[in-house]
Chain A
Amino acid sequence: MDLILEYFDFLLFLVLLALGYFVGRMNEQRHYLSIRRRERQLANVLAFAARFPPDPHTPRECVLVTGSVVVSSDYFKQFVTGLRTLIGGRMRAYESLLDRARREAMLRMKADASRHGCRLIFNVKVESTNVGGGMRGGTAAMEVLAYGTALKSLPDRSEAPRAA
Chain B
Amino acid sequence: MTSATSAANILVSNLELVPGRRVKAHLGVVQGSTVRAKHAGKDILAGLKNIVGGELKAYTELMQEAREEATQRMVAQAASIGANAVLNLRYSTTSITPGAAEILAYGTAVVLE
- Contact partner of A72 among B17, B18, B53, B89, CB < 8 A? B53
User: Does A58 contact B43, Cβ atoms closer than 8 Å?
Assistant: no
**Closest residue of chain A to B15, judged by CB?**
A149
- Contact partner of A62 among B15, B55, B92, CB < 8 A? B15
A residues 24-82 with Cβ under 8 Å of B? 24, 27-28, 31, 51-53, 55-60, 62-64, 66, 68-75, 77
Q: Give the size category of A's interface with B.
A: 35 or more
List the B side residues contacting A66 at CB < 8 Å: 67, 91
User: Does B47 contact A139, Cβ atoms closer than 8 Å?
Assistant: yes
User: Does A73 contact B53, Cβ atoms closer than 8 Å?
Assistant: yes
| Chain A to chain B contacts (Cβ below 8 Å), 27 pairs | A20-B52, A24-B54, A27-B53, A27-B54, A52-B15, A55-B19, A56-B17, A56-B20, A58-B19, A59-B19, A62-B13, A64-B12, A69-B55, A71-B54, A72-B49, A72-B50, A74-B51, A125-B91, A129-B94, A131-B95, A133-B98, A139-B50, A140-B50, A141-B50, A143-B93, A147-B91, A149-B15
Output the least CB separation between A119 and chain B (Å): 15
Output the least CB separation between A44 and chain B (Å): 20
Complex Cα distance, B52 from A31, in Å, reads 13
User: Does B54 contact A131, Cβ atoms closer than 8 Å?
Assistant: no
Is residue B21 within 8 Å, beta carbon to beta carbon, of the partner chain? Answer: yes
Complex Cα distance, B93 from A69, in Å, reads 13
**Closest residue of chain A to B59, judged by CB?**
A70
Is residue A113 within 8 Å, beta carbon to beta carbon, of the partner chain? Answer: no
List the B side residues contacting A164 at CB < 8 Å: none
Residues of A within 8 A of B (CB): 16, 19-20, 23-24, 27-28, 31, 51-53, 55-60, 62-64, 66, 68-75, 77, 97, 104, 122-123, 125, 127, 129-137, 139-141, 143, 145, 147-149, 151
User: Does A23 contact B52, Cβ atoms closer than 8 Å?
Assistant: yes
Is residue B60 within 8 Å, beta carbon to beta carbon, of the partner chain? Answer: yes
Output the least CB separation between A55 and chain B (Å): 7
Complex Cα distance, B100 from A130, in Å, reads 11
User: Does A149 contact B53, Cβ atoms closer than 8 Å?
Assistant: no
User: Does B19 contact A31, Cβ atoms closer than 8 Å?
Assistant: no
Contact with A along B61-74 (1 / 0, CB 8 A): 00110010000000
Complex Cα distance, B15 from A74, in Å, reads 37
Complex Cα distance, B12 from A18, in Å, reads 47
- Contact partner of B20 among A57, A132, A149, CB < 8 A? A57
- Contact partner of B101 among A51, A129, A136, CB < 8 A? A129
Query: In the complex where A64-B13, A147-B14 touch, is A20 in contact with B20 (Cβ < 8 A)?
Result: no
List the A side residues contacting B94 at CB < 8 Å: 129
